[in-house]
Amino acid sequence: MENQKMYEAIADISYIAGYRRYYSGNSRMDMTDFANWAKEFEKINQNETWDERNYMLEIESFANQKINDARSNLK
């Protein structure tokens, strides 16, 4: 089940990044970043049951912050 959660987080982050048209110029680096962001998100939320918080809102907020930070570092 843990792998399933990680796969879902990677897919969600990748979808959000695509929707936001994020591209650093290196697709391999981007995919590595998305996987690392998903690991970070899952670690932060490892004990979360998502009964009181909305998973989609939380991962979208997390991904948007990571994308904004990454874009700032590209400049």
Global pTM value: 0.92
Mean residue pLDDT of the chain comes to 95
For residues 59 and 41, is the Cβ–Cβ distance under 8 A?
yes
Q: Which of 19, 6, 29 is nearest to 64 (CA)?
A: 19
Q: What is the mean pLDDT of residues 46-63?
A: 96
Residues 4-20 have pLDDT tens digits of 999 999 999 999 999 99
Question: Is 75 a residue whose pLDDT tops 80?
Answer: no
- Cα 52 from Cα 12, distance rounded (Å): 20
Judged against a pLDDT cut of 70, whether residue 1 lies above it is answered with: no
Binned at pLDDT 50, 70 and 90, residue 40 comes out as: very high
Name the residue among 35, 26, 5, 21 with its Cα closest to residue 67: 21
Q: Which DSSP symbol is given to 62? A: H
